[in-house]
């Protein structure tokens, strides 16, 4: 929040309120109507300086240091009153020295350039002169730019400095919660902000104050430079002196004519001495005691004891909110989502996070909670567009919030890491867009791979408290999380976390993608655990088959056998050839390859074929026809098929009907002309198999079937010389279809027939399966 114009001079506090009022000293009507002088968990403002007691010595010390260097760094633990000290202690005294003093407060949050500029626009809403108006308009135009880049930061810097030079009076600029520069701001942005900060230091009449949690002292020293840091450092210790605590407790009430019981004062002094970080708890206690004051006795020990004492004050203050949440189950979920916006984890320590208010207002239940928490003093507004927890102490002393932070600590830390990394990466993307390819910076090198993206997406889904959307194409929970969250992610995080597998698969949808790149993509997918359905195994360890429904009714004439016509009945065919991972389940199962049940009327070799190019998402090869039939029998048993369909190899007329696009009768699955970019053939130059599905444009139009041309020959059920014979048994050659990585275009035609001994294996032969009614 920005405090405008001149700050008031400090009130005379020559006679500090160390005594305690007795009964009858205050008018009962004044007691009943007095405005609460205790801010609770919120910080004091300059306007409330007359109610700020107990910090005179610290205030004078800081004012003296500002007279020497115009920069102070107030460093202390959370709960030592740093923000209040500067606003209500330092600002009025500095104003008294200079006659009139402007005061501006901002928090770095994640965008220090923008936060300073927005604070300045709020500070100078109306211009006194044409020059002032030009400076304001220039700053507003810079703020209106979307996105983050070095150029936009430069424009914000120039416009901010220009406007600050229009000042008519001295000003104190407070960068509150300055640890945000190190916890919420990308490192490169924080380094660039140091240059702007140097320009501010050079401006006459501009005093700078930083408040910082002591855990980040070393980072501030590195950022400022050791000499400047030591010259500006003001270490602030917790308030423990009895005289100071008495003033803090008694002073505001006395200023309003409200008494404080001696018994209460004594009890609070003991509790404060026994409680670490007691100051915010005392402030909250006093605020609530004032609200519940007795008409005659003022703040009483009895009321304090009803609240449960200092250690339970947050519990007591939150009681109404807890009852509200417990009474409406929908608010339980809304509360968890709100916490996700208000809290984060830095160096394993939960801390506050500033949230935009508009998205919170869009959810009715969350909006209700925001109002309830604000009404209880648990939320504050750093400016008119954001909201945050009123104090870090809530993260420790509010059980619901503390337990939530403990439960989601890892997810919060992952989210923060991703947001910081994304913001480091985004300016390079913007810079690259304006440069020629040869001059572009290596923004892609900062993109995370799937092994880092996936845990973050799962963490974000965890924090969203949403159920993942089902995905028909992928079986990976990380991609399901992406599908669920994508629409709600901001632009930077959306582009940064777009799953690597999806980006790789997008590359395949162009004929311009070379064969070697397709091979690399397949290997990378295999390395990360190929997330596509139909390539791997189910949770039960069985082959995960994606079925493509094929309408029946068509008639097929086989090449070289014009007198025979075969009718195709409805069936379902596997999208991909069987992969090594799927065939491997058969080989490794106790009841798999070596179980004699699957080999009736088949030749069973002692050992399966060699596992060549055995990447899990590559097609299984060195498969004999008898091996493929045994696999179908094994899987049928595990699936316990009881309906009219059976799992088997396709007949060659079924295979051809699918590959030629049905009645279209295409020469190749994609059309009438050979296209070397659409199949892994001899012309691809890979000289081996590659992962299934690397040529999506090679599929028949409107179908999702992969690899019907090239990669591997596929076994069909029927005999080659007598196609109508589909019976199991014998050593008559069976049919192969589709061509392979070893073959030329003529062998990849949809009508091309090939034969091979049913008991022999080769390095370019695999198979796919169908689910169809038994053949007559």
Pairing of strands 386-389, 555-558: unpaired
Question: Cβ neighbours of residue 632 under 8 Å, at least 6 residues apart?
Answer: 647, 648, 649, 769
Q: What is the pLDDT of residue 122?
A: 86
Q: What is the pLDDT of residue 761?
A: 97
Q: Closest Cα to residue 280, out of 110, 113, 102, 44?
A: 44
Kindly write down the DSSP assignment for every residue of 644-666, as one continuous string.
S-EEEPPPHHHHHHHHTTGGG--
CATH for 318-407? 1.10.10
Q: What is the pLDDT of residue 510?
A: 96
Q: Are 13 and 53 in contact (CB under 8 A)?
A: yes
**Burial (CB count within 10 angstroms: exposed 0-12, middle 13-18, buried 19+), residue 191:** exposed
Number of C-beta neighbours around residue 417 at 10 A: 16
Helix, strand or coil, per DSSP, at residue 352: strand
Beta bridge partners of 173: 104, 208
List the alpha helices (DSSP H) in 275-356: 278-291, 301-307, 313-317, 319-327, 329-342
Q: Closest Cα to residue 715, out of 668, 660, 667, 770?
A: 770
**Whole-angstrom Cα distance, residue 110 to residue 118?**
13
List the alpha helices (DSSP H) in 533-604: 580-588
Task: Please provide residue 434's backbone torsions phi and psi, each rounded to the nearest 5 degrees.
Answer: -95, 0
Prediction pTM value: 0.85
DSSP 90: I
Q: What is the pLDDT of residue 25?
A: 37
CA 431 to chain centre: 24
Q: Are 313 and 281 in contact (CB under 8 A)?
A: yes
Distances in whole angstroms, Cα of residue 483 to Cα of each of 408, 467, 539, 570, 621: 21, 11, 21, 33, 34
DSSP 713: E
**CB burial readout 75-102, b (16+ within 10 A) else e:** bbbbbbbbbbbbbbbbbbbbbeebeebb
Kindly write down the DSSP assignment for every residue of 592-643, as one continuous string.
STT-GGGGTTS---SSPPP-TT--TTSBP-S--HHHHHHHHHHHHHHHT--S
The fourth-level CATH superfamily of domain 28-235 is: P-loop containing nucleotide triphosphate hydrolases (3.40.50.300)
Q: Are 612 and 622 in contact (CB under 8 A)?
A: yes
Q: What is the pLDDT of residue 339?
A: 96
**Burial (CB count within 10 angstroms: exposed 0-12, middle 13-18, buried 19+), residue 125:** exposed
Q: Closest Cα to residue 712, out of 745, 677, 748, 685?
A: 748
Q: What is the pLDDT of residue 384?
A: 83
pLDDT along the chain (776 residues), means of 10: 42 34 38 78 94 96 93 94 96 93 92 93 77 86 80 91 90 95 91 95 95 95 96 93 95 94 95 87 95 94 94 92 93 95 90 92 95 93 89 94 95 94 82 50 71 97 94 95 95 94 96 98 97 96 96 92 92 97 98 97 95 97 98 96 90 97 94 97 97 97 91 98 95 97 97 97 98 87
CATH for 547-772? 3.90.1580.10
**Whole-angstrom Cα distance, residue 179 to residue 212?**
6
Q: Closest Cα to residue 152, out of 103, 113, 126?
A: 113
**Whole-angstrom Cα distance, residue 634 to residue 627?**
11
Q: Are 23 and 360 in contact (CB under 8 A)?
A: no
Beta bridge partners of 379: 389
Q: Are 412 and 351 in contact (CB under 8 A)?
A: no
Radius of gyration for the alpha carbons in the chain, expressed in angstroms and rounded: 37
Instruction: Write down the domain spans for the chain.
Output: 28-235, 242-315, 318-407, 416-498, 547-772
């Amino acid at each position: 929040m920005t405090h405008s114009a001149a700050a008031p001079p400090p009130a005379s506090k020559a006679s500090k309120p160390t005594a305690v009022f007795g009964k009858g000293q205050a008018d009962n009507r004044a007691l009943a109507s007095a405005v609460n002088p205790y801010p609770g968990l919120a910080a004091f403002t300059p306007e409330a300086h007359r109610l700020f007691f107990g910090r005179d010595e610290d205030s004078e010390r800081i004012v003296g240091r500002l007279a020497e260097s115009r920069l102070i760094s107030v460093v202390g633990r959370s709960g030592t009153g740093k923000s209040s000290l500067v606003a209500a202690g330092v600002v009025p005294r500095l104003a008294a020295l200079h006659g009139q003093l402007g005061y501006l407060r901002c928090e770095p949050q994640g965008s220090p350039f923008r936060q300073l500029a927005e604070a300045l626009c709020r500070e100078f809403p109306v211009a006194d002169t044409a020059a002032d108006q030009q400076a304001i308009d220039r700053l507003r135009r810079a703020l209106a730019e979307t996105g983050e880049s070095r150029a936009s930061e430069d424009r914000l810097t120039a416009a901010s400095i220009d406007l600050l030079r229009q000042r008519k009076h001295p000003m104190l600029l407070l960068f509150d919660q300055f640890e945000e520069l190190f916890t919420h701001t990308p490192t490169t942005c924080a380094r660039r902000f140091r240059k702007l900060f140097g320009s501010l230091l050079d401006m006459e009449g501009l005093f700078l104050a930083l408040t910082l949690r002591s855990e980040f002292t070393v980072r501030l020293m590195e950022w400022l430079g050791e000499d400047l840091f030591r010259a500006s450092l003001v270490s602030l210790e917790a308030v423990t002196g009895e005289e100071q605590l008495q003033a803090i407790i008694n002073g505001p009430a006395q200023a309003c004519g409200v008494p404080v019981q001696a018994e209460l004062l004594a009890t609070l002094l003991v509790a404060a001495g026994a409680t670490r970080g007691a100051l915010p708890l005392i402030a909250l206690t006093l605020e609530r005691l004032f609200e519940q004051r007795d008409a005659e006795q003022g703040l009483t020990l009895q009321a304090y004891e009803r609240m449960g004492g200092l250690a339970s004050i947050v519990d007591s203050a939150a009681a109404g909110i807890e009852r509200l949440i417990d009474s409406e189950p929908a608010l339980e979920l809304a509360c968890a989502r709100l916490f996700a916006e208000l809290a984060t984890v830095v160096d394993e320590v939960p801390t506050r996070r500033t949230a935009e208010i508009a998205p919170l207002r869009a959810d009715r239940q969350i909006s209700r909670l925001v109002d309830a928490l604000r009404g209880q003093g648990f939320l504050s507004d750093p400016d008119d567009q954001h909201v945050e927890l009123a104090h870090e102490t809530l993260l420790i002393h509010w059980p619901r919030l503390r337990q939530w932070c403990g439960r989601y600590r890892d997810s919060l830390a992952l989210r923060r890491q991703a947001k910081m990394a994304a913001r480091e990466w985004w300016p390079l993307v913007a810079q690259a867009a304006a440069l020629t390819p040869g001059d572009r910076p290596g923004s892609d090198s900062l993109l995370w791979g799937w092994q880092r993206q996936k845990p973050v997406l799962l963490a974000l889904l965890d924090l969203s408290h949403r159920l993942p959307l089902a995905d028909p194409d992928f079986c990976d929970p990380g991609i399901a999380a992406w599908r669920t969250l994508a629409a709600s992610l901001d632009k930077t995080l959306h582009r940064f976390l777009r799953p690597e597998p999806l980006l790789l698969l997008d590359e395949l949808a162009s004929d311009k993608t070379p064969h070697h790149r397709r091979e690399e993509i397949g290997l990378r997918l295999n390395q990360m655990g190929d997330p596509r359905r139909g390539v791997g195994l189910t949770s039960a360890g069985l082959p995960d088959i994606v079925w493509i429904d094929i309408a029946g009714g068509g008639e097929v004439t086989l090449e070289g056998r014009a007198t025979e016509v075969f009718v195709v009945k409805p069936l379902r065919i596997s999208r991909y050839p069987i992969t090594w991972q799927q065939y491997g389940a058969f080989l490794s199962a106790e009841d798999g390859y070596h179980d004699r049940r699957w080999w009736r009327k088949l030749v069973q070799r002692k050992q399966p074929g060699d596992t060549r190019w055995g990447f899990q998402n590559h097609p299984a090869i060195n498969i004999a026809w008898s091996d493929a039939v045994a696999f179908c029998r094994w899987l049928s048993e595990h699936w316990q098929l009881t309906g009219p369909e059976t799992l088997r190899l396709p007949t060659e007329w079924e295979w051809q009907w699918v590959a030629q696009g049905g009645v279209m009768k295409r020469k190749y699955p994609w059309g009438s002309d050979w296209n070397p970019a659409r199949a892994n053939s001899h012309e691809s130059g890979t000289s081996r198999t590659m992962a299934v599905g690397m040529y999506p444009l090679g599929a028949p139009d409107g179908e999702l079937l992969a690899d019907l041309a090239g990669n591997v020959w596929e076994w069909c059920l029927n005999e080659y010389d007598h196609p109508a014979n589909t019976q199991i048994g014998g050593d008559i050659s069976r049919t192969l279809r589709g061509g392979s990585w070893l073959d030329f275009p003529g062998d990849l035609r949809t009508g091309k027939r090939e034969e091979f001994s049913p008991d022999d294996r080769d390095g370019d032969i695999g198979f796919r399966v169908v689910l169809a009614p038994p053949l007559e």
